[in-house]
Amino acid sequence: MALVEVIEDEDATQPLFVAEFDFLPRVGEHLARDTEGYFQYYNIIKIWHRRTRRTEPSERASLLHSTINHAEFVHAA
| Strand pairing category for 60-67 and 2-7 | parallel
| Whether pLDDT at 75 is above 70 | no
The whole-number pLDDT of residue 19 equals: 83
Q: What percent of the chain has pLDDT over 70?
A: 62
Task: Work out the average pLDDT over 6-22.
Answer: 81
Rounded distance, CA 2 to CA 21, Å? 5
The pLDDT confidence band at residue 74, using thresholds 50, 70 and 90, is very low
Q: What is residue 60's three-state secondary structure?
A: strand
Rounded distance, CA 31 to CA 61, Å? 14
Could you tell me if 15 and 5 are in contact, meaning their C-beta atoms sit under 8 angstroms apart? Answer: yes
Structural domain range at position 32: 2-74
Give the model confidence (pLDDT) of 54-72 as tens digits.
Answer: 555 555 556 555 555 444 4
- Taking CA atoms, 18 is separated from 74, 76, 77, in Å, by 22, 24, 24
